[in-house]
Amino acid sequence: MTSHVDTSRHSGKVCFVTGGGSGIGRQTSIRLSLEGAAIIVSDIDLAAAQETVELIESKGGQALAAQVDVRDRKAIQAAVKSGLSAYGSIHFLVNNAGLVTKHSLKDLDEDAWDLVLDVNLKGQWLVAQEVSQAIASSGGGAIVNLSTVEAMVVVTSGSTAQPHYNASKGGVPMLTKALAVELASENIRVNCVAPGPIATDFFDLKGVMSAEAQAFMNQRLLVQRIGQPDDIARAISWLLSDEASWIDGIQLPVDGGWLTR
């Protein structure tokens, strides 16, 4: 569901989105397109990215799909090149691709650790390093990285311990600050959004919504509902826009009050 659309907010802008084939990345691509931007929808899953492009085109928007594993510099460079040849410039980046694997602490192996750190943290750096050069040559713009409340507090433990996820996302606000400092001279602002629980494939709704889990959620959430992808897309769109032109280097929780108590 997409609400409160300002169809000219991002007119003439071009946005590169990672993990745009699902959940928050898909909804952000759709929202930014409805708000006037052309979207480079990248994902490791090309068919999923293409589906997002079809959804955008069916609403009259402009988008192209690119197969990008955020760990693969050459694939990122190729997608930037296609975006530039289709649209001539790139102004925004949404560094959204991310994943988690679930294990007890003793069963967490090095492959799972490396996968989660490489996609969630190294991937954000690699994509930002490449895409920021295109944004700089386009006259500047803005980047939003996806963090999580789990960068600040531990939510799951025991059989679903997530030290690798917590560590990877804990790095995002500091990466965000470092990029904000480095890219200020290029007229590029860099911020991150920290979502609470959002109803996507990532967040296993069926598994989580046991009576016990529901009670846990209700006790944490001040706003008594699970977040929707558009709750995050709206915050991302605002941080990218000129309305946030004096906001740089921050982490914005968008979490229904999860972190408040």
Phi, then psi, of 46 in degrees rounded to 5 = -65, -40
Residues 2-21 that bind ligand NAD (CB under 6 A): 18-19, 21
- Give the helix/strand (H/E) hosting 39: strand 38-43
Is residue 200 close enough to count as binding ligand NAD by CB under 6 A?
yes
Interface positions, 119-138, toward ligand NAD (CB under 6 A): 119
Q: Which is nearer to ligand NAD, 108 or 184 (CB)?
A: 108
Part of the chain binding ligand NAD (CB under 6 A), chosen from 3-11, 93-101, 177-185, 215-223? 93-101
Taking CB under 6 A as the criterion, the residue among 2, 46, 71, 113 binding ligand NAD is: 71
Task: Report, in Å, the least distance between residue 74 CB and ligand NAD.
Answer: 13
Among 165, 171, 188, 255, the one annotated catalytic: 165
Part in contact with ligand NAD (CB under 6 A); list of ranges 32-40, 55-63, 94-102, 240-248: 94-102
Q: Which two tokens stand for residue 9?
A: 């907010």
Bridge-partner residues for 194, per DSSP? Answer: 253
Contact 14, 89 (CB under 8 A): yes
Which of 155, 202, 205, 247 touches ligand NAD by CB under 6 A? Answer: 202
Verify whether residue 165 is a known catalytic residue: yes
In the three-class reduction of DSSP (H, G, I as helix; E, B as strand; rest coil), residue 210 is classed as coil
Cβ closer to ligand NAD: 101 or 241?
101
Q: Is 43 in the site for ligand NAD (CB under 6 A)?
A: yes
Tokens of 122: 């190294």
The number of residues that bind ligand NAD (CB under 6 A) is: 29
Residues 6+ apart with CB under 8 A from 216: none
Cα separation, 213 vs 215, whole angstroms: 5
* Dihedral sign from CA coordinates of 8, 11, 13, 15: positive
Segment holding 14, helix H or strand E: strand 14-17
Sign of the torsion angle spanned by Cα atoms 112, 201, 93, 223: negative
State which of residues 22, 33, 191, 237 lies at the interface with ligand NAD (CB under 6 A): 22
Give the residue numbers annotated as catalytic, written as ranges: 165
- Residues found near ligand NAD in the complex (CB under 6 A): 18-19, 21-25, 43-45, 48, 68-71, 96-99, 119, 146, 148, 195, 197-198, 200-203
